[in-house]
Amino acid sequence: MASPITLLLVRHGQSEWNAQGLMQGQTAHVPLTAFGHSQAELAAAELAGLAPGVLISSDLLRAVQTAEHCARATGLPIATTPALREQGYGVLEGRPSRELWDVVDWTDPSWAAEGGESLAELHARVAAFLGQLCADPPADVVALVTHGDTIRAAQAVVAGLGADAMPAVTPHNGSVTRLEICD
């Protein structure tokens, strides 16, 4: 049995598209706002107090910019991976989120927008990544800088729940969520 690992999941700070109410998904180039940088700095200070041994980030710009604050606060280098990306929304990315309530089937874990990714696919991607962490732990405390839906998927995986039972509440931008895995 593997030793438990503490995951510290940092949701990126507010991005320009968060502020504009646009669906981001895996759009790579969206930067943080000034407020988002402030949120990232506060999350980084909290993270430093929790002493992670490794820092891994989604490779999307808003997460990398947040991870840069975390790296400065912790002294850790940043490793990036596409495994921690947000759920892909394909052709819906860049559209106003309020227009999508009647387009997206939020209750069906197998639904995906054209060119996007279903909740079931997101859940499977996150489960595979967490499985790799358990198989070859890089540290006892691992900081992951990522996205809201990805954090919800991680919470479901750790709780032994499927994509159909992911938590409904998305953590706030700049928050740190603690989970224990591999025990």
Q: Sheet containing 5-11: which strands, arranged edge to edge?
A: 78-81, 54-58, 141-146, 5-11, 176-181
Provide the pLDDT for residue 102.
82
Partners of 6 in the beta sheet? 141, 180
* pLDDT for position 101: 81
Residue-level pLDDT at 2: 62
pLDDT score of 126: 98
What is the set of active-site residues? 12, 86
pLDDT for position 70: 98
Structural contact between residues 84 and 92, judged by C-beta atoms closer than 8 angstroms: no
- Please provide residue 143's backbone torsions phi and psi, each rounded to the nearest 5 degrees: -95, 130
The pLDDT > 70 percentage for the chain reads 99
pLDDT in the model for residue 106: 77
Domains and CATH numbers, the chain: 5-181 (3.40.50.1240)
Q: pLDDT value at position 103? A: 81
Burial (CB count <10 Å: 0-12, 13-18, 19+), residue 39: buried
The mean-pLDDT minimum among 4-8, 28-32, 96-100, 134-138 falls in 96-100
* pLDDT, tens digit, 9 for 90 and up, residues 50-88: 999 999 999 999 999 999 999 999 999 999 999 999 999
Q: Report which DSSP code applies to 95.
A: S
Chain mean pLDDT for the chain? 95
Q: Is the pLDDT of residue 1 over 60?
A: no
Using one digit for the tens of pLDDT, what is the confidence trace for 99-122?
A: 888 888 878 999 999 999 999 999
Given the structure tokens 């759009």, which residue do they identify? 27
Per residue in 13-37, pLDDT (tens digit) is 999 999 999 999 999 999 999 999 9
